[in-house]
Amino acid sequence: MGWTRREFLKKAGQALIALGAGGPLVLVRGESARTSAAAEALAGLGTPGGASSGDRVLVVVQLSGGNDGLDTVIPYGDGRYYDARPILALPAAEAVRLDGRLGLHPSLAPLKPLWDVGKLAVVQGVGYPHASRSHFLSMDVWHTADLSGRAPTGWLGRALDLLAGSPGALDPVLPAVAMGVALPRALSAGRTAAVCVEVLPRFRFFTPPRWRGEADAQLRAWEEMLGGDGTGDGSVPEPLAAVRRAGRVALAGAGAVERAALTYQPVVRYPASPFAQQLQAIARILTGTARTRVFYATLGSFDHHADEKARQARVLGTLAEALAAFYRDLEAHGQAQRVALLAFSEFGRRVHENASGGTDHGHAGPVLLLGGGVEGGFHGDHPSLSDLEDGDLRYGIDFRSVYASLLEDWLGVPAAEVLGGRFENLGLVRKAA
Amino acid sequence: MAAGTDAALLRHLLRRAGFGVTSADLARHAGRRPEAVVEDLLAAPAERPALAELAAIRLPGERAPLDPARLPDIQIWWLRRMAATAAPLREKMTLFWHDHFATAFYKVQDARLMLRQNELLRRHALGNFRTLLLEVSHDPAMLIWLDSNANRKRAPNENYARELMELFTVGLGHYTEDDVKAAARAFTGWHCDRKAGRFVFRAGEHDFGEKVFLGRVGRWDGGDVVDILASHEATARFLAAKLWRWFGAPEPDESAIAAMARAYLDSRCEIGAMLRALFLSPAFAAAAGRKWLVKSPVELVVGMHRALGVAPDRRAVAALRAMGQELFNPPNVAGWKGGEAWLNAGTMLARVNYAAELVAAASPGPPASAWVEEALRLAGVDDPSSATRTALARYASEGDGARSAGADREAVRWCGLLRLVLSAPEYQLA
């Protein structure tokens, strides 16, 4: 391209204003974006250290399968770690030292520079009381922030519903984007429809080239079929209404995503992994939107019942390389200050390794946070390796406290309302201005 | 029962028990009683073994026949089997068991073993659940999937025991952690010889000791655990509820589920008895004509191909992935969530976009005046909403303007109409 970074950012900013990406967009052919609202909304967008909570974005990364905390943040200074894991324990010299006792798994080395500048936080001993060892139940608990795992909505969905009640706080067409083919339960909401995207280029209503003349007519016909509610059909049965809703969200979302992705210029090289591609798609969309507040990506599997050494090294490498590229990309596009990324798993694993060079389902584990507004460093204490609960690490921090910090300080919604109770705000991110 | 409701019930039964219903299906069964049709569906005729069929299929443009060692090849094989089968209920139940005993290629990494499991599921799909469960417990793909080789006397691995109870039989709330530990001990030594691709019992790794399992004391082994679980009341209800959600309605119906569970237990775990009770239940008949079930991607795509009389090719497999369902590769051991979870922005676009790809090759249609009716009939949409009807009629008759002109015009417009019918909200439901 030949642009300097400064020129590029200036042009990107102008393009954003031209597209009206800052204000709510109405998807009706011929109607232009509300440019005055857009200009006003863009005032705080992307300026270093100045992003107001109206712009802040939360990216949630789910590490599926139960990530082994002891094989992520290594207690290299504790003899009991070596006693419990004759095969799996990493030699002290291999740990990427964070302090005198703890270090990162060597595959996480790409994240060390972020730690050094205070943009990486490690929250230790995170869990919840009477934790389940079932993948599904425990994941449901983390998604719903409900210890029975049965709440009909997710914590992110409830947060989005609250934001939707505040004018200008949430893009009505693209409030949240989940990468993949299934909507995470965390995003299921009462009134807000998150959009699921598998692969960006295919996310649109497609008509084969040889039908070129038919494309508009087909799209119009489909839109008409989707808008059936209340056109003389009487009461519409729920599944039919749900299908139509999904179609309408799809069309509106596809339009919004297409416009948003236009302003993004690839400047950073991402690894080839599907996970890194998810993060790049997220970077692409968030760069072009101001009110899409939550993104979701998934990486797995971390469920290493056997052969953990090699598998964990691989999957953590995939994680770290993708996160590092993502952060560099955010910085290059002036977005780093408005994005906080949370990486969590449904449980940690047992302290003692099993007989297959792996570990079984456990309880407490660490949670990672990275971003320009994150308070880097350790939060909470490393769980004791001697005072165990039935062979598992005891949790010291309820995961809902992690959520509370992000809800209050980052997204600016009342945490107690989302979580159904008061949880300690751990000061994990810088409060909104 | 009035003739009208008979026909409606028949359509409902054939649609739910298979992958959509064609006029040929309706003609074949016209005037028959539901009981007779259900017996026919359950008495599914034998079909060719998978390996023989794979060897006999060479896709257009490809140099070699399908290879059982390749995941994409077994995926397209199964899809084509579902689209052409003379035993739709058995194929649909094979799909049900694939979801129930969800085992994924991404960990097993062996397409031949995945195919072997598929044939196992098909063999017992309409048979005895205890037998099916015992076979599954010996199945190499399952043994690899749930780390059975790690389950040893000195260090039992609970993975299989836990999922066996939580997901395959009694369900959460009907067992304790101690039961999981006991079951794990019972299955110690039930291993897979990966090189031979075969079950092997390693006596040296088996815990022959006494266990307390679900309140019963004995020197249980895996077979005993299977017996106890298969004939457990909670298993009867668990399976009945799941089958009802799959074939009946998203909301549970206590009378149907109770009847199904009773039939299962009375027949000593016969799946056919449970299905008979389901299809002949008043609740099932009451649901006739009400499109309550969201079609899974496989049902949708297979239905499209059956309606158009076109065999699926590899594009169908790719489309299924975008719609959220990859054969032989469920997301995890809990299978696919189903229902409205199939419907999100990305998957909706994948559905309507595949319809466009598929009909591109459709043969010429009827006279223009009959287009909308013919398209609806082909797709089996017998009760379109006024919004859908109006949209289709408008599309079919609109003046040209910027639209395609010339000799091509009719063909393109007919294809476009078919595409729209297959994209209609009604078509996404069964």
For an interface test with B, give the residue of A225, A301, A389 to mutate (most B CBs within 10 A): A225
The interface residues of chain A toward chain B in range 144-173, judged by CB-CB distance below 8 A, are none
Q: Strand A176-179 relative to strand A195-197: parallel, antiparallel, unpaired?
A: parallel
Contact status of A63 with chain B (Cβ, < 8 Å) = no
The interface residues of chain A toward chain B in range 230-249, judged by CB-CB distance below 8 A, are 231-233, 236-237, 239-240, 242-244, 246-247, 249
Q: In this complex, do B294 and A306 lie within 8 Å of one another by their Cβ atoms? A: no
Min Cα separation B247/chain A (Å): 15
Contact status of B315 with chain A (Cβ, < 8 Å) = no
Would you place residue A234 in the very low, low, confident or very high pLDDT band (cuts 50, 70, 90)? low
CA atoms of A416 and A418, how far apart (whole Å) = 5
CA atoms of A304 and A22, how far apart (whole Å) = 44
Query: For residues B10-45, b (16+ Cβ closer than 10 Å) or e, as one string?
Result: bbbbbbbbbbbbbeebeeebeeeebeebbebbbebe
**pTM for this prediction:** 0.83
Would you place residue A134 in the very low, low, confident or very high pLDDT band (cuts 50, 70, 90)? confident
Name the residue facing B352 among A136, A222, A228 (closest C-beta).
A222
Q: In this complex, do B346 and A197 lie within 8 Å of one another by their Cβ atoms? A: yes
Contact status of A6 with chain B (Cβ, < 8 Å) = no
Would you place residue A97 in the very low, low, confident or very high pLDDT band (cuts 50, 70, 90)? very high
Q: Which residue of B has its CA nearest to A243?
A: B425
- Residues from chain B contacting residue A237 (CB–CB below 8 Å): 290-292
Min Cα separation A214/chain B (Å): 6
Contact status of A204 with chain B (Cβ, < 8 Å) = yes
pLDDT at A326 exceeding the cut of 80: yes
Q: Which residue of A has its CA nearest to B320?
A: A181
Q: What are phi and psi of B389, to 5 degrees?
A: -60, -45
Predicted local distance difference test score (pLDDT) of residue B351: 97
Q: Which residue of A has its CA nearest to B166?
A: A134
Predicted local distance difference test score (pLDDT) of residue A410: 95
Predicted local distance difference test score (pLDDT) of residue B287: 83
Q: In this complex, do A224 and B391 lie within 8 Å of one another by their Cβ atoms? A: yes
| Chain mean pLDDT for chain B | 92
More confident residue, B268 or A209: B268
- Residues from chain B contacting residue A205 (CB–CB below 8 Å): 349, 352-353
ipTM (interface predicted TM): 0.92
> Among candidates A86, A126, A128, which has minimal Cα distance to A383?
A126
Q: In this complex, do A225 and B391 lie within 8 Å of one another by their Cβ atoms? A: yes
More confident residue, A149 or A347: A347
Would you place residue B4 in the very low, low, confident or very high pLDDT band (cuts 50, 70, 90)? low
CA atoms of A62 and A294, how far apart (whole Å) = 13
Q: What are phi and psi of A305, to 5 degrees?
A: -75, -15
Predicted local distance difference test score (pLDDT) of residue A7: 40
pLDDT in tens, B291-325: 789 999 999 999 999 999 999 999 999 999 999 99
Q: In this complex, do A224 and B348 lie within 8 Å of one another by their Cβ atoms? A: no
CB atoms within 10 A of CB A232: 9
Q: What are phi and psi of A204, to 5 degrees?
A: -165, 165
The interface residues of chain B toward chain A in range 342-381, judged by CB-CB distance below 8 A, are 343-350, 352-353, 356-357, 360
Q: Which of A246-255, B117-126, B329-338, B388-397 has the highest mean pLDDT?
A: B117-126
> Distance of CA A386 to CAs A68, A132, A391, A392, Å?
17, 21, 9, 10
Mean pLDDT of A144-160: 95
User: B233-247 vs B271-279: helix axis angle to the nearest 10?
Assistant: 50
pLDDT at A285 exceeding the cut of 90: yes
Mean pLDDT of A240-266: 91
pLDDT at A370 exceeding the cut of 50: yes
